[in-house]
């Protein structure tokens, strides 16, 4: 191959390589929305699906079935807030909308921000616990000494398998006061 041809082939190769590298880099950014889509579709990880978007009026209550829903609260790694559910459990029928609340109190003399992360056991039940309103959708900022009752509005999906008659919804409360969240919406679920 002549020197000019070599040089031009080399230049083309370099451009291609840069494009591939750039593409991979861009793919990394694309992964953020892609990851959300995958998690929503598959309901991975005991992570309940996102905010239940469809209306409540369509819901049909299956009177003859009862499902026990237990509530627990866990404060993670030194989170100093009080955090507990108002009720330990409720017994609902699939399709029946229920509202429960969790109490949170910041006993310190400075403001703090907390984030509640839900998890469901058994993990198979996670996909069937639909949250219409949940305090876990947003960060919770509490001023010094502030106490709140945070609401959870949910229903159990009618398609929940027959063998699941009890499920546990657990929230872990994390201290995210130090995290710089630049316009990133946390925990869509």
Partner 1 sequence: MLPKAKLWLGLIISAAIVWSTNLQAAWELNMPQGVTQISRDTYDLHMQILWWCVAIGVVVFGVMLVSIILHRKSRGAVSATFHESTKVEIIWTLIPFVILILMAIPATRVLTEAYDSSESDLDIMVVGYQWRWEYKYLREDEGEEEVSFFSALSTPREEINNALPKGENYLLEVDNPLVIPVNKKVRFLITSNDVIHSWWVPAFAVKKDAIPGFINEIWTNVEEPGIYRGQCTELCGLEHGFMPIVVHAVEQEEYDAWYADRQESARTTRAMADNVVTAEESMIAGEQVYLRNCSACHQPTGAGMPPVFPAIAGSAIATGPLRANIDLLLNGVTGTAMPAFRNQLNPIELAAVITYVRNAWGNNTGDLIQPAEVNQILQEGQ
Partner 2 sequence: MSAAHDDHHHGPAKGLSRWLFTTNHKDIGTLYLWFSFSMFLLGGTFAMIIRAELFQPGLQFVEPNFFNQMTTMHGLIMVFGAVMPAFVGLANWMIPLMIGAPDMALPRMNNWSFWILPFAFAMLTSTLFMASGAPNFGWTFYAPLSTTYAPSSVTFFIFAVHMMGASSIMGAINIIATILNMRAPGMTLMKMPLFVWTWLITAYLLIAVMPVLAGVVTMMLFDIHFGTSFFNAAGGGDPVLFQHLFWFFGHPEVYIMILPAFGIVSAIIPTFARKRLFGYSSMVYATASIAFLSFIVWAHHMFTVGMPLAGELFFMYATMLIAVPTGVKVFNWVSTMFRGSMTFETPMLFAIAFVVLFTMGGFTGLMLAITPADFQYHDTYFVVAHFHYVLVPGAVFSIMAAAYYWLPKWTGNMYDEKLGKLHFWLSFIGVNILFFPQHFLGLAGMPRRIPDYALQFTDFNMISSIGGFLFGASQLILLFVVIKCIKGGKKATAEVWEGAQGLEWTVASPAPYHTFTTPPDPKLIHVQ
Q: Footprint of partner 2 on this chain (CB under 8 A)? A: 45-46, 76-77, 115, 117, 123-124, 172, 174-176, 179-180, 186-189
Three-state secondary structure call for residue 28: helix
Residue 75 touches which of partner 2, partner 1, none (CB < 5 to 8 A by kind)? partner 1
| Contact partner at residue 89 from partner 1, partner 2, none, CB < 5 to 8 Å by partner kind | partner 1
54, 123, 168 from 156: Cα distances, Å: 14, 14, 12
- Residues with Cβ within 8 Å of 148's Cβ and at least 6 positions away in sequence, in order, are 103, 104, 105, 140, 142
CB of 131 to partner 1, least distance (A): 16
Residue numbers of the site for partner 1 (CB under 8 A)? 45-46, 70, 72, 74-80, 85-89, 105-109, 117, 119-122, 144-145, 163-166, 168, 170, 172, 174-175, 178
Q: Which does 93 bind (CB under 5 to 8 A by kind): partner 2, partner 1, none?
A: none
Q: What angle do CA 24, 25, 31 make, to 5 degrees?
A: 85
Which residues are paired to 116 by β-bridges? Answer: 173
């Amino acid at each position: 191959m002549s020197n000019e041809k070599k040089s031009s082939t080399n230049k083309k190769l370099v451009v291609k390589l840069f494009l591939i590298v750039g593409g991979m880099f861009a793919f990394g950014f694309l992964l953020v929305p892609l990851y959300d889509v995958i998690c929503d579709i598959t309901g991975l990880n005991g992570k309940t699906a996102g905010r239940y978007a469809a209306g409540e009026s369509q819901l049909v209550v299956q009177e003859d079935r009862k499902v026990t829903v237990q509530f627990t609260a866990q404060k993670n790694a030194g989170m100093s807030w009080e955090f507990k559910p108002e009720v330990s459990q409720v017994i609902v029928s699939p399709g029946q909308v229920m509202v429960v609340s969790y109490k949170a109190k910041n006993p310190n003399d400075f403001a703090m921000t907390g984030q509640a992360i839900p998890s469901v056991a058994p993990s198979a039940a996670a996909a069937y616990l639909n949250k219409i309103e949940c305090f876990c959708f947003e960060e919770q900022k509490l001023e010094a000494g502030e106490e709140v009752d945070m609401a959870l509005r949910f229903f159990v999906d009618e398609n929940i398998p027959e063998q699941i008659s009890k499920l546990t919804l657990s929230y872990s409360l994390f201290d995210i006061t130090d995290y710089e969240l630049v316009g990133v919406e946390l925990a869509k679920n």
